[in-house]
Amino acid sequence: MRCLMCENLSLSHICNNCQNKFLSPSIYKRKILNNIEVISFYKYSDIKDLLHTKHTDLGYYVYSILAKNSLKKFAAAFDYPGIVTSIAIDDYVQNGYSHTAILNKSLKSKSIKPFFNKLRAKNKISYSGKSREFRILNSRDFELKKFKEKELILVDDIVTTGSTFTQAVQIMQKNQKKVLFCLALADASTK
């Protein structure tokens, strides 16, 4: 097959050379709700075309590569006194896989235990390309399934306005859960 980025022959959908050259993560941080940190690894503009594969069969492979190069490395370096749960934002399976479940699964490590099917949006409307006002007027209306663990990390692919993470944190807080921080592959607000 050919690398999606350089079009050279490759055994992977993105060759090792392109992964090293273009997919080395950086850390970007912002805060929501005044104190919850959102950590992301890429500028949205740098990987926009790769992120847009999430609604295709190819997205499974692309998201697996992105997760391996960022979230998996983060999880391996993350140290915490005890086990922390990670929860994906709306890991609903579409097109044969869930892109947020792929990201969440990559966090499995000595300090992080991923949980699946715990946080689902009852409102399935897409936020892609929508304004902040639209996002506020069309809440995700999250439903949280029970689990006993109290401390957790929230995971999503893109943070734009922070609205989705904010709504997810709020439902966690209503259920006496402590969100330590949020992780996103890409931040759309970074320049």
DSSP per residue over 118-157, as a string? -EEES-----TT--HHHHHHS---EEE---S--EEEEEEE
Q: What is the pLDDT of residue 138?
A: 78
* CB neighbour list of residue 171: distance below 8 Å, 6 or more residues apart: 119, 142, 144
Nearest CA to 46 among 25, 70, 31?
25
pLDDT (average), residues 65-82? 97
Its pTM surpasses 0.85: yes
Which residue type is seen at 61? Y
Higher pLDDT, 179 or 191: 179
Tell me the per-residue pLDDT of 134-175, one tens digit each, with 9 for 90 and over.
877 778 889 999 999 999 999 999 998 898 999 999 999 999
Note the residue count of the chain. 191
Report the range of poorest mean pLDDT among 24-33, 95-104, 122-131.
122-131
Q: For residue 56, count other CB atoms closer than 10 A to its CB.
A: 11
CATH of 25-187, one of 3.90.550, 2.60.40, 3.40.50, 3.30.2010: 3.40.50
Phi, psi for residue 90 in degrees, rounded to 5: 45, 65
Q: Where are the domains of the chain?
A: 25-187
